[in-house]
Amino acid sequence: YQQNPKTHTIVKQLLAEGNAGELQKYFGSRMEFGTAGLRAAMGAGISHMNDLTIIQTTQGFCRYLEKNFSDLKKRGVVIGFDARAHLSSGGSSKRFARLAANTFISQGVPVYLFSDIIPTPFVPYTVTHLKLCAGIMVTASHNPKQDNGYKVYWENGAQIISPHDKGISQAIEENQEPWPQAWDDKLIDSSPLLHDPYAMVNKEYFKDIQKQCFYRNINKETNLKFVHTSVHGVGHKFVQLAFKAFDLSPPFAVPEQKDPDPDFPTVKYPNPEEGKGVLTLSFALAEKDGARIILANDPDADRLAVAEKQESGEWKVFSGNELGALLGWWIFTCWKNNSRDTRAIKDVYMLSSTVSSKILRAIALKEGFHFEETLTGFKWMGNRAKQLMDQGKAVLFAFEEAIGYMCCPAVLDKDGVSAAVITAEMASFLATRNLSLSQQLKAVYDEYGFHITKASYFICHDPEVIQQLFDNLRNFDGKNTYPKSCGRFKVSGIRDLTTGYDSSQPDQKAILPTSKSSQMITFTFANGGVATMRTSGTEPKIKYYSELCAPPGNSDVEQLKKELDELVNALEKHFFQPEKNKLQRKTE
């Protein structure tokens, strides 16, 4: 008797064919459990997401939680899922979530399993709201359709950080034999340990985000129209509810993309970060309905892209850094003008990741609140925000350039639902002043100094080439010397978070945590430019992020852009050396 006939058949077929190469791919190595949990294609074998690997992962996670929480059986865990499914292997987010729930319940652990698809931020929200020990979200976010993932939150409501990933990984290794009845997920339906938080969270979450609603009267009256797309994911219903909670008229939903569809039929990649290609249908609907602003969520609704129609009739898609600047300005302004928060400005914080724009630093310096940068990824911002909140500080906002925004302290992770409705309120308010989002962005830069950013990546499938490229940067002019210049641009500072070196610190040691397992070097240039080169945790890419920060008053934007373009060209030519290293450029 085999537990999953579909994956069983796939493997049997390969055995019959004697296909050693494919079998090696399926069974050669187990998926690695990292701080982002699991992310891999659905299919057979221990290198893929399937019933067995989900059971094994959850068994390990369960044992690890038992070791860390004496009251696990009192508090329990929450599990959510998106709408992904894979016909050929029988895997789906819902099936995986039910198997995970079954594993915990078999050990007497209460499980709050959402009965229907939800946005990813609802899981960290529920952990915090119900004071649970942990949360699991089964989603692959905006990855290609064959992928799925298993994302883990700790009791503080933030994604796990080291050493939990190592601990869980080890516990998975130690618990690979499926427990009795591991596959029998029907058992959970009659268990008193199974709870459905869906109705409660749908009420409480929308009540909590209303604390960020400051202009209800304007929202009621505005004649600004919005288009929303959930890109075949989970976002539609929840963004509609968020608009209702803010007294805004519902946005026009892109009909072809509003219902969940695991095939993502209308887009090449279901990732709004990829820009205009994903938004083609949104532009068409906006033209038809006379909407000026488009709000686009990724399939698990934790990210948000925004586009606005310009006077010229062109559409401008804001970068993550530009929207970060707008939301940072807006949320601070609302706090200053309307907040009933009695805390002094010295107790107010904003965060962003080290590869994101430093515009918040400029606003913080001028306005007198605190800005901190963290390592890349929301797990760092979520954990740091929680630490600060526990010290009585107000963390108003955090963002990363990969279109992730945390606008509401009830969710310590990126949240595309609250970000969408807060952006809509900001746009409605600005419209009463006859300002567009683009005009306000320029006003922010005029006041706090222009911050121009440019990011891209090269694809490289050979880890040795990547290692060689970074070794070369660390031994540029002889052993242990970093580059002193990049083309005509003089290097004034170097921070290497792989080795922990920072030339700007008195003891030459970096302040941010160091990780030997990933490559990351930041160069500061004499002209006010900054560029970071890093490897990606989830893809075969070497990414770079560059920014030119000008002091307020320097308004020659075209000159700044030209200078940044030249800096980026020099970076590619001298530091990446794409021809020599056979790197493949990002294709637009």
pLDDT in tens, 530-558: 999 999 877 789 999 999 998 888 778 89
The answer to whether 446 and 552 are in contact (CB under 8 A) is yes
Residue 34's pLDDT is 87
| HEC sequence for 386-411 | HHHHHCCCEEEEEEECCCEEECCCCC
Q: Which of 33-37, 56-60, 508-512 has the lowest mean pLDDT?
A: 33-37
Which segments of the chain belong to CATH 3.30.310.50? Answer: 450-585
pLDDT in tens, 363-417: 999 999 999 999 999 999 999 999 999 999 999 999 999 999 999 999 999 999 9
Sign of CA dihedral 333, 334, 340, 341: negative
Q: How far apart are CA 492 and CA 489, in angstroms?
A: 9
Closest CA to 79 of 50, 48, 107, 118: 118
Q: Which architecture characterizes domain 5-195 according to CATH?
A: 3-Layer(aba) Sandwich (3.40)
Q: Can you identify the CATH homologous superfamily of domain 450-585? A: Alpha-D-phosphohexomutase, C-terminal domain (3.30.310.50)
Q: Inform me whether the pLDDT recorded for 316 exceeds 90.
A: yes
DSSP helix/strand/coil, 287: helix
Residue 2 pLDDT class (50, 70, 90 cuts): low
Find the catalytic residue in 141, 169, 282, 418: 141
Residue 587 pLDDT class (50, 70, 90 cuts): confident
Which segments of the chain belong to CATH 3.40.120.10? Answer: 5-195, 205-316, 321-448
Task: Give Cα separations from 333 to 306, 414, 444 (angstroms).
Answer: 20, 21, 12
pLDDT in tens, 130-150: 999 999 999 999 999 999 999
pLDDT in tens, 84-122: 999 999 999 999 999 999 999 999 999 999 999 999 999
Mean pLDDT of 471-477: 95
Q: Can you identify the CATH homologous superfamily of domain 205-316? A: Alpha-D-Glucose-1,6-Bisphosphate, subunit A, domain 3 (3.40.120.10)
pLDDT in tens, 488-519: 999 999 999 999 999 999 999 999 988 888 99
Residue 340 pLDDT class (50, 70, 90 cuts): confident
Q: How far apart are CA 430 and CA 439, in angstroms?
A: 9
Would you call 141 a catalytic residue per the annotation?
Answer: yes
Q: What percent of the chain has pLDDT over 70?
A: 99
Residue 343 pLDDT class (50, 70, 90 cuts): confident
Task: Give Cα separations from 6 to 11, 171, 258, 296, 336 (angstroms).
Answer: 9, 28, 30, 35, 58
Q: What percent of the chain has pLDDT over 90?
A: 92
Q: Which two tokens stand for residue 197?
A: 């938080």
Residue 578's pLDDT is 95
The answer to whether 193 and 75 are in contact (CB under 8 A) is no
Q: How far apart are CA 573 and CA 561, in angstroms?
A: 18
Q: What is the pTM of this model?
A: 0.95
The CATH code of the domain at 321-448 is 3.40.120.10
Helix runs in 312-451, H state only: 320-338, 359-367, 378-390, 416-432, 437-448
Q: Inform me whether the pLDDT recorded for 588 exceeds 70.
A: no
Q: How far apart are CA 403 and CA 279, in angstroms?
A: 15
Average pLDDT, the chain: 95
Q: Say which DSSP state 215 is in.
A: -
Q: How far apart are CA 489 and CA 248, in angstroms?
A: 49
Q: Which two tokens stand for residue 188?
A: 């959970």
pLDDT in tens, 167-219: 999 999 999 999 999 999 999 999 999 999 999 999 999 999 999 999 999 99
Q: Inform me whether the pLDDT recorded for 1 exceeds 60.
A: no
